[in-house]
Amino acid sequence: MAKLGEINYLRNHGEAAVRHAMHKPFSDVNCPKYLVEIGTVMSLLPPPPARILDIGCGAGWTSVFFAKAGYHVVGVDIAPDMIFHADQVRRKEGLDNLQFQVCDYEEMSFQDEFDGAVFFDSLHHAVDEEAAVRMAFRALKPQGVCVTSEPGQGHKDTPIAVEAVRKYNVTEKDMPPEKIVAMGREAGFRRHWIFPYAFDLNHLIFSTTKEGPYQRPIRKRRWFKRLFHWLLIGRLGLGSRLFSTKTTELYWFRNLAHFFNRVHLNGGIVVLEK
């Protein structure tokens, strides 16, 4: 069964996986992306010292970040090995405002206890994602928020995901914002917001190359160019000489339409309010 694959993840991957998990995000090639996203998630949570439930926390790096920011955190994961190593890190860091529990997040018993709940790259590993969202809803206090940062459409068909399912019997699913919102409504959440992936936005603005590592082919949209000129030149009175033709300066303008078109299809950060 897929849950057994999640439980035995570290055991099946060996010592290198343990070292990687314990030093994440700094041990991961996607470290810049993770750092930007965890900051964005924090900005969408109630301020410290709110009580936060970190759902599917793995070896606990996200929980540690929340705790160091002043939150009171409970991190849960189905894998005892993950929680064992997470608790080692907690003790090393001396974080008394953090605790970890071995728990299947589809069967949590928390009720009206937390100001915020987080699925950070974990909901797409659920066997029953609807049950997981229901449990998050039940765990939150009234007006509490659930923040998700999950891969979008096409994730389960990527070579890495396909190989992980085949080799380690884990669960890999697409988890686009629309699906999360629909499950949230069914669970009882009253309102929702969808935001772009923070790192995509960061990369869009600060990249100095035409094709960055996270960029997809760009389709030209003449309607957007006309709208851009109407807004900045016609309505705001900004002369075209304000913008040079250098790639660094025009890159994000040329990609805005493509970027915002991706948010609902390719994933984003979702906030659900109870």
CATH number of the domain encompassing residue 165 = 3.40.50.150
pLDDT tens for 177-207 read: 999 999 999 999 999 999 888 777 666 566 5
Poorest-pLDDT segment among 67-71, 74-78, 240-244: 240-244
* Position 269 pLDDT exceeds 70: yes
| Residues 167 and 260 placed together within one structural domain of the fold | no
| Residues 176 and 227 placed together within one structural domain of the fold | no
* Banded pLDDT at 14 (limits 50, 70, 90): confident
SS3 assignment for 217-250: CCCCCHHHHHHHHHHHHHHCCCCHHHCCCCHHHH
Range of the domain at 232: 201-264
* Position 98 pLDDT exceeds 70: yes
| Residues 104 and 231 placed together within one structural domain of the fold | no
| Residues 243 and 145 placed together within one structural domain of the fold | no
* Position 251 pLDDT exceeds 50: no
| Residues 7 and 135 placed together within one structural domain of the fold | yes
| Residues 122 and 257 placed together within one structural domain of the fold | no
Higher pLDDT, 17 or 231: 17
State how many domains the chain has.
2
Angle at 164 between CA 11 and CA 21, to 5 degrees: 45
* Position 85 pLDDT exceeds 90: yes
- Contact of 24 with 61, CB cutoff 8 Å: yes
| Residues 226 and 138 placed together within one structural domain of the fold | no
| Residues 75 and 167 placed together within one structural domain of the fold | yes
* Position 149 pLDDT exceeds 70: yes
Distances (CA, A) of 194 to 14, 148, 178: 37, 10, 9
What is the Cα–Cα distance from 48 to 31, expressed in whole angstroms?
Answer: 24
Supply the pLDDT for residue 215: 44
Local structure of residue 34 (DSSP, 8 states): H
What is the Cα–Cα distance from 70 to 98, expressed in whole angstroms?
Answer: 10
Supply the pLDDT for residue 202: 66
Higher pLDDT, 20 or 248: 20
Question: Average model confidence (pLDDT) for the chain?
Answer: 83
Higher pLDDT, 231 or 32: 32
Supply the pLDDT for residue 47: 97
Distances (CA, A) of 242 to 231, 245, 266: 14, 10, 33
Supply the pLDDT for residue 218: 41
Supply the pLDDT for residue 108: 97
* Banded pLDDT at 249 (limits 50, 70, 90): very low
Supply the pLDDT for residue 206: 62
| Residues 188 and 170 placed together within one structural domain of the fold | yes
The pTM for the full model equals 0.80
Supply the pLDDT for residue 217: 42
pLDDT tens for 201-234 read: 666 566 555 444 444 444 444 555 556 555 554 5
| Residues 7 and 109 placed together within one structural domain of the fold | yes
* Banded pLDDT at 93 (limits 50, 70, 90): very high
| Residues 59 and 187 placed together within one structural domain of the fold | yes
Supply the pLDDT for residue 212: 45
Supply the pLDDT for residue 244: 41
Supply the pLDDT for residue 246: 42
pLDDT (mean) for 28-33: 92
| Residues 65 and 190 placed together within one structural domain of the fold | yes
